[in-house]
Amino acid sequence: MKKVYVGMRADIIHHGHLKIIQEARKLGEVTIGLLTDKAAASYKRMPFFSYEHRKMILENIIGVKEVISQETLDYVPNLMRLKPDYVVHGNDWKTGAQKEVRKRVISVLKEWGGKLVEPDFTKDVSSSQIAEELFELGTTPGARMKKLRRLLELKPIVRVLEVHNGLTGRIVEKTRVVEGDNVREFECMWLSSLTDSTAKGKPDSGCVDFTSRVNTLNQIFEVTTKPMIVDADNGGLTEHFVFMVKTMERLGVSAVIIEDKVGAKRNSLFGAEVEQEQDEIEMFSDKISSGKKAQVTEDFMIIARIESLILNKGMEDALKRAKAYIDAGVDGIMIHSKKKDFQEILEFCREYKQFENKVPLVAVPSTYSSITEEELIGAGVSIVIYANQLLRSAYPAMVNTAETILKNHRALESEEQCMPIKEILSLIPAVCTGGK
Ligand code: SPV
Ligand code: MG
C-alpha cells in the first residue's frame, strides 16, 4: 500500500473535506495530519472545536487509517518522519496564505520521489464562509466568556483593542490583515473607562455609572462574538464588587481588571500630577479574594492592576503587590506604566519571570507604544491591550470634518475625508438588523 498524507485543520467538516479524503483513498492508505489547537491558532482565529473533538470526527470517516498531530503549519516535520508517497491537498493553496507552505511540501517530497496531488477544491463550500455566518448568528454568554482562557492557552499573546460602542465592537470583530501565511486580528475587546466616558462626553472620573457601562456592554455584545475584558476602575467597595463580579459573569464578560487605588477616581495616565491614592495591600487582596469567591464558573477571571510605577512607589512595591495579589487568588496581573520608554516594564517582567507562582501578565502600552508584540512576548507578557487608539484616532478626524464644513459653508470639501454613502449603507449587514 502507498502512503498518503493529508494535512487538515478540519474545524468545520463539510463535503469538500470528504472529497479530498476520497481522492486520497484512491492512492493508498490515508494518514491525516491534524493541526493541533496551537498550530491552528497560530495563523488565524482559533478553531471552534478542540483537537480531541476534531480528531474524533476524522477517525470515524471511512478511508482514514490514522490521525496524527501536525504541530506546525509547516508540513515538513511530519513529512520527513512519514516519507509518504503522496500528499493530497485541494488546489486552492497555490495562491494566498498557504502558498509558501505548498512550496516547501513540493521541495521536501522531491527528496524521496513523493508527489503532491491537488484535486480541484470544492467551490460551493468554504469553512471560512461558514465560520463568518456562524459569527453573524451571534454567541452565548458562556461560550463568549470561555474564549479568553482558551486564547491564553493557544496564543503567544492575546491582542486586545479598545471598544466603546457597537461600531467599535464591529471593528474589532471584523478587521483583519493578511501577512504572508498569517491572518492577524484582534482576539478580544477592552471596555475602557477612558474611552467609554469620553465617548459619552464625560471625564474618566467614575461619573459614567455602572448601569450605563452595562448598557454599553450590552450594545457591544449584541453585535459581536469576541471575548471582553472590562475596565472596572477599582471595583468599588468590596461589598459592591462581589455583585459586579456576578453581573459581569452573567453577561459573559471574560475578565474584569481592577486597579489598586482608592478615593476619587482619576485616570492613571495623569500619574503623580493629580492626587491618587493606592489601596492597602491587605484591603485590595481582600477585595480580590471576595470577588473570586463570588464568581460562579471557573471561566471568569479577575485581573489586578498594579499602580505602583504610575504613583512612583517603586519596583519593589510593585513586585510585592504582585506576589500578594497572586496569593489572594487573582487570575492575572496588569502592570501599568506611563513612561515613554519601556525599561521599567521590562524590568518588572524580568523580576516577575523569577516568581514561582505566576499568572498571565497584562501590559497596556499607551505611552510606551514603540514596544512591539514580539518584545512583549519575549518579556513574558500574555495579554496586550491597545486601550484607547480607536477613539483617539476618530476624534481628530471628526473635528477636522466639522471644521471643513464650517470653513467652506458646504459639505462638498469634506467628502474626500468621508466614506462613500453607498459604503456606509452596507457597512452593517442586513442580517444584524432583521433579515436579508
Ligand atoms: C482605560 O483605558 O480606561 C484604562 C487604561 O484604564 S489607562 O487609560 O491607561 O489608565
Ligand atoms: Mg480606565
- Write the CATH number for 298: 3.20.20.60
Report yes or no on 392 lying in a domain: no
Residue 132, pLDDT score: 85
Ligand 1 centroid, distance to 290 Cα (angstroms): 24
Cβ proximity of 88 and 117 under 8 Å:
yes
To which residue does cell 475596565 refer? Answer: 231
Q: How far apart are CA 290 and CA 283, in angstroms?
A: 11
Q: Tens of pLDDT along the chain (436 residues)?
A: 999 999 999 999 999 999 999 999 999 999 999 999 999 998 889 999 999 999 999 999 999 999 999 999 999 999 999 999 999 999 988 887 788 899 999 999 999 999 999 999 888 888 888 888 888 888 999 999 999 999 999 999 999 999 999 999 999 999 999 887 788 999 999 999 999 999 999 999 999 999 999 999 999 999 999 999 999 999 999 999 999 999 999 999 999 999 999 988 888 888 878 888 999 999 999 999 999 999 999 999 999 999 999 999 999 999 999 999 999 999 999 999 999 999 999 999 999 999 999 999 999 999 999 999 999 999 999 999 999 999 999 999 999 999 999 999 999 999 999 999 999 998 887 754 444 4
φ and ψ of 97, to 5 deg: -55, -35
Three-state DSSP class for 370?
Answer: coil
Please tell me the predicted confidence (pLDDT) of residue 357.
97
Q: What is the position in ligand 1's atom list of the atom closest to the CA of 305?
A: 6
**Contact criterion met (CB below 8 Å) for 188 and 408:** no
Map residue 383 onto helix, strand or coil.
strand
Please tell me the distance from the alpha carbon of residue 114 to that of residue 93, in angstroms, as a whole number. 18
Residue 102 within a domain? yes
146 and 284 share one domain: yes
**Grid coordinates in use for 20?**
479530498
CA distance 235 to 337: 20
**Residue 39 counted as domain residue:** yes
Element (H, E) at 189: strand 188-191
The boundaries of the domain holding residue 176 are 138-387
Given 72, 107, 128, the domain boundary residue is 128
- Residue 397 within any structural domain of the chain: no
Domain boundary among 94, 110, 128: 128
In the listed set 109, 128, 147, which residue is the last one of a domain according to the structure? Answer: 128
**Closest ligand 1 atom to Cα of 387:** 2
Looking at residue 434, what is its pLDDT? 44
How many angstroms separate the most distant Cα atoms in the chain?
Answer: 80
Q: Report pLDDT for 431.
A: 59
C-alpha cell of residue 60: 470515524
Q: Is the dihedral of CA 141, 142, 143, 147 positive or negative?
A: positive
332-335 and 64-70: which strand pairing?
Answer: unpaired
395 occurs within a structural domain: no
Any atom of ligand 1 within 6 Å of the Cβ of 36? no
Residues 36 and 160 in one domain: no
- pLDDT score recorded for residue 122: 85
279 is annotated as an active-site residue: no
How many independent structural domains does the chain possess?
3
Determine which residue's CA is closest to atom 10 belonging to ligand 1. Answer: 268
Residue 396 domain-assigned?
Answer: no
- For cell 469567591, name the residue: 293
Protein residues placing their CB within 5 Å of the ion ligand 2? 193, 231
Is there a contact between 4 and 88 (Cβ–Cβ < 8 Å)?
A: yes
Residue in 162, 168, 190, 194 to alter for ligand 1 test, most ligand atoms within 8 A of Cβ: 194
- Domain co-membership, 342 together with 407: no
| 154 and 296 part of one domain | yes
C-alpha cell at 234: 477599582
